[in-house]
């Protein structure tokens, strides 16, 4: 039986290209492993967008978490590879930054910038994470935190 934590903790990966276009990738359950994995409910937000549209897009991403289950023992491609129709994760993320976004009912939002390191991939910069507790959330605060994390990512 899968732990309820999977359903109360939601994570989205947001890839940002050089033009500030976003690819928002929610997570779901990888059934054979009982783990969390990126799912195919991906969508894009094209620049320019207003902060209101950005916040709505991020919340839509969180709302899409667990909308699909991955049944394959070993998926041949990651969700973003399939979405972009490329053959490798490296091709999919080339020229893109990553911002990791997490939500739990207890802690609220955690928006974490990453740094791409050769041969290691994206490394989370936890010391730069912005945490927005649930009782302190204000309109557009999520969008603002995301924009800061995007600037801090490399």
Spatial CA neighbour of 13 closest among 26, 1, 3, 2: 26
Residue given tokens 């999520």 in the structure block? 142
How do the domains of the chain map onto residue ranges?
A: 5-152
- Determine the CATH number of domain 5-152: 3.40.1590.10
Q: What is the structure's pLDDT at 1?
A: 37
Please check whether residue 14 is in contact with residue 101, taking contact to mean a CB–CB distance below 8 angstroms.
yes
Segment 83-131, tens digit of pLDDT: 999 999 999 999 999 999 999 999 999 999 999 999 899 999 999 999 9
* Structure tokens, 144: 């603002």
Q: What is the structure's pLDDT at 6?
A: 55
Residue 18 has pLDDT above 90, yes or no: yes
Q: What is the structure's pLDDT at 74?
A: 84
Residue of higher predicted confidence among 1 and 85:
85
Residue 4 has pLDDT above 80, yes or no: no
Segment 48-96, tens digit of pLDDT: 999 999 999 999 999 999 999 899 888 899 999 999 999 999 999 999 9
Which SS3 state, helix, strand or coil, does residue 18 take? coil
Calculate helix-pair angle for 141-152, 51-64, nearest 10 degrees: 90
């Amino acid at each position: 039986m899968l732990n309820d934590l999977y359903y109360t903790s939601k994570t989205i990966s947001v890839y940002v290209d050089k033009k500030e276009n976003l690819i928002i990738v929610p997570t779901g359950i990888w059934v054979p492993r009982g783990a969390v994995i990126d799912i195919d409910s991906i969508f894009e937000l094209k620049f320019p967008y207003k902060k209101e549209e950005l916040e709505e897009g991020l919340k839509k991403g969180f709302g899409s978490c667990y909308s699909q289950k991955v049944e394959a023992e070993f998926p041949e491609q990651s969700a973003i590879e399939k979405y972009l129709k490329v053959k490798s994760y490296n091709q999919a993320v080339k020229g893109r930054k990553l911002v990791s976004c997490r939500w739990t009912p207890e802690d609220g939002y955690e928006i974490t910038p990453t740094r791409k390191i050769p041969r290691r991939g994206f490394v989370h910069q936890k010391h730069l994470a912005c945490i927005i507790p649930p009782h302190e959330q204000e309109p557009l605060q999520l969008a603002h935190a995301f924009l800061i994390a995007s600037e801090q990512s490399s």
